[in-house]
Amino acid sequence: MAAAVSPFSGVLQLTDLDDFIGPSQDCIKPIKVDKKAGKAAAKIRIEDDGSYFQVSEDGESQKLEKAKITLNDCLACSGCITSAESVLITQQSHEELYKVLNTNKNAGSASQKLVVVSVSPQCRASLAARYKLAPLDTAKKLTAFFKRLGVHFVFDTTFSRNFSLLESQREFVRRFRRRAEEERALPMLAAACPGWICYAEKTHGSFIIPHVSTAKSPQQVMGSLVKGCFAERQNLTPDQIYHVAVMPCYDKKLEASRPDFFIQEHQTREVDCVITTGEVVKLLDQEGVSLVDMEPAPLDGMFSSPSEERLLGHAGGGSGGYLEHIFKHAAMELFGIQVGHVEYKPLRNKDFQEVTLEKEGEVVLRFALAYGFRNIQNLVQKLKRGKSPYHYVEVMACPSGCLNGGGQLRADGEASKDLLQQVERLYDLAEAEKPEANQDVRAVYEEWLGGPESEQARQALHTQYHPVEKANAASMNIKW
């Protein structure tokens, strides 16, 4: 149990904290609280017509303005999105995918959209565990299922993660070399988790943002590739492609809806729709099919057919392996040390671990991974006090990282731990590949991006963050 503060009411409440960035019921049931008295000072009455009245203790009632909330206002607390406020995400749901596929069926070929689905390896592992399939089988059957629905191409975001990892590696080395001149160059904080980014922007904006890596997440790199390079190869404009990402959490829907990922020139998003692993199961149920019964289909590659017999992955855990890749690259690039095996040292708990590199008896690199809200809070507090000893931190909002994302398939009680272990095991079966060794990745850098240091590479593979104005945050009485 741990204390959590509702962003809307300021009331301190005890929640059974599973260490996700915790939502509050107050998000959907706002009651003002007199903090000194510790009791509700006003209640909300809902009329039959849906209008809200605030009723004070002496019985006076006042009609409240209707709140307009968009995805971008959300604090990424997950809870409201997973339950009552699902109306917020109508543009990002499996129903929306159905609509597009149906429109395609009824449209002439000239006005059809090319539908591309990019599946994350975390979702694939979760589905493999649910249906008791091998990951490769799962990938092939999933491809067959999406194609049966009318999808044209099914890709794997492991491919785009190569770019996220490579860009993060280079950015770290640049920042390390600049650390004497630039106060906030280090620690560099990972940027692939939109739950963490949303928290950072809305609660510690201008202080934290300079520390956050600008490398895009695999989802958004995939968006750049599909709507850019792949569209060009198909002789299509970005808006002629409908791009769906299958992701392990609802926060990825928020990420896709960020204005930074909207292509103004073509009035389209890099990723049009995000569906979770759970929503894939809903699609299967709606179609009345089990993944087990699907005839496997050959896998699609964005530029070449992947090997039929193996799935590629990356070393370093279920959240993408950012720490491990950056650590090994930096050890070689900055200190000429080849690191084979990375030794993790658990600190407070398994979600807070440390990795160090020593040279001549001195620690020259100190990295950490910090998963879950409690560890993130501790990290931020240390940073603010100038007491963080780290050069890099892989920050992820979910306890246990992305394999345990809020959109993954669940089991009840004790069985949930077993299920997570099984998902981790299945995820690890993919053959680890070094991003720099992938021929297609090299080809994209050379042929489409004009090299890793080019302006086009910067635009396609990096993004920016925006601190939320203090006034806005204060008006919501946010206290973290």
Residues that bind ligand SF4 (CB under 6 A): 193-195, 248-249, 251-252, 319, 396-398, 401-402, 405
Q: Which is nearer to ligand SF4, 193 or 302 (CB)?
A: 193
Q: Which is nearer to ligand SF4, 9 or 219 (CB)?
A: 219
Q: Which is nearer to ligand SF4, 33 or 398 (CB)?
A: 398
Smallest gap from Cβ 407 to ligand SF4, in A, equals: 7
Tell which residue, 237, 255, 186, has the closest CA to residue 402: 255
Smallest gap from Cβ 112 to ligand SF4, in A, equals: 32
Question: What is the number of the residue whose Cβ is closest to ligand SF4?
Answer: 405
Smallest gap from Cβ 366 to ligand SF4, in A, equals: 22
Smallest gap from Cβ 337 to ligand SF4, in A, equals: 30
Give Cα separations from 238 to 220, 226, 241, 266 (angstroms).
Answer: 14, 8, 6, 7
Structure tokens at 77: 């607390």
* Spatial CB neighbours of 130, under 8 Å, sequence gap ≥ 6: 281, 291, 409
Q: Which is nearer to ligand SF4, 116 or 397 (CB)?
A: 397
Q: 376: phi > 0 → left, psi -120 to 50 → alpha, else beta; which?
A: alpha
Q: What are phi and psi of 184, to 5 degrees?
A: -100, 15
Smallest gap from Cβ 195 to ligand SF4, in A, equals: 3
Smallest gap from Cβ 55 to ligand SF4, in A, equals: 37
Per-position b or e across 113-132, b if 16+ CB within 10 A of its CB: bbbbbbbbbbbbbbbbbbbe
Q: Which is nearer to ligand SF4, 215 or 231 (CB)?
A: 215
Are the C-beta atoms of residues 435 and 55 closer than 8 Å to each other?
A: no
Q: Which is nearer to ligand SF4, 323 or 396 (CB)?
A: 396
Smallest gap from Cβ 85 to ligand SF4, in A, equals: 17
Q: Which is nearer to ligand SF4, 193 or 221 (CB)?
A: 193
Query: Using alpha carbons only, how large is the chain's radius of gyration in Å?
Result: 23
Q: Which is nearer to ligand SF4, 122 or 162 (CB)?
A: 122
Smallest gap from Cβ 409 to ligand SF4, in A, equals: 13
Q: Which is nearer to ligand SF4, 120 or 162 (CB)?
A: 120
Q: Which is nearer to ligand SF4, 245 or 357 (CB)?
A: 245
Smallest gap from Cβ 134 to ligand SF4, in A, equals: 23
Alpha-carbon gap, residue 251 to 116, rounded angstroms: 20
Smallest gap from Cβ 320 to ligand SF4, in A, equals: 8
Q: Which is nearer to ligand SF4, 193 or 473 (CB)?
A: 193
Smallest gap from Cβ 401 to ligand SF4, in A, equals: 5
